[in-house]
Amino acid sequence: MSKGLIAVIVVVLILGFVGCGKYNGLVGKDEVVKESWAKVESQYQRRADLIPNLVSTVKGAADFEKSTLTAVIEARAKATQTTINADQLTPENISKFQAAQDQLSGSLSRLLVSVEQYPQLKANQNFLELQAQLEGTENRIGVARNDFNAVVKDYNQEVRTFPTNLFAGVFGFSQKGYFTASAGSDKAPTVKF
């Protein structure tokens, strides 16, 4: 066997071992992203599950604005229909998902502001408990989104780093999308008394 052939075999073996290591590393990071995404979805689902109870409690208040309740119900339906498979976490898909969730958040905010006009609701223990659970869920959503962004950063960095980027392209690993701030969240809300 010639020295040239041995050198070629050694180079191929080294590339094979490096490629296997990089591939397995990317698979591991991809699974962490998928797990983190599942946690985000779980928290959004928790919020969606609280909404029917909140709407039922509020509906009992005399003359409560039906249009506000309808908007919440419709936004919840749209938000729960907008789902993303963990293999399709592109920036565009994340943006669509976030837009549907933001619409639901806006409807919920309007509902909670409307409640201020109904003292019997503000004194209703059921409503107060649901409101506290909703607030806690919003905090959990924020934490889950931040955790998701952290693991996506780690994954994207690995996908873009040389020489892993060469193997990532060959094996079909591409960058994932991030959650970003909602449009208009950079401006303080106007408060009028």
pLDDT in tens, 140-162: 999 999 999 999 999 999 999 99
Closest CA to 108 of 131, 140, 80, 78: 131
Mean pLDDT for the stretch of residues 38-63: 87
Asked whether residue 193 is assigned to any structural domain, the reply reads no
pLDDT for 92 equals 92
Asked whether residue 28 is assigned to any structural domain, the reply reads yes
- What total of structural domains would you count in the chain? 1
Lowest mean pLDDT among 29-43, 62-76, 123-137, 175-189: 175-189
* CATH classification at residue 158: 1.20.120
Residue 41 in this model has a pLDDT that exceeds 90: yes
What is the reported pTM? 0.82
Asked whether residue 187 is assigned to any structural domain, the reply reads no
Asked whether residue 12 is assigned to any structural domain, the reply reads yes
Please answer whether residues 5 and 153 qualify as being in contact, where contact means their C-beta atoms are separated by less than 8 angstroms: no
Asked whether residue 61 is assigned to any structural domain, the reply reads yes
Q: What angle do CA 109, 111, 112 make, to 5 degrees?
A: 65
Residue 122 in this model has a pLDDT that exceeds 80: no
Residue 187 in this model has a pLDDT that exceeds 70: no
Please answer whether residues 159 and 175 qualify as being in contact, where contact means their C-beta atoms are separated by less than 8 angstroms: yes
Asked whether residue 102 is assigned to any structural domain, the reply reads yes
* Residue 155 to residues 98, 103, 124, 177, Cα–Cα distance (Å): 21, 29, 46, 11
pLDDT-based confidence at 193, cuts 50/70/90? very low
Mean pLDDT for the stretch of residues 52-62: 80
Asked whether residue 150 is assigned to any structural domain, the reply reads yes
Asked whether residue 176 is assigned to any structural domain, the reply reads no
Domain coverage including residue 100:
3-171
**Per-position DSSP letters for 45-64, written without gaps between them:** HHHHHHHHHHHHHHHTSTT-
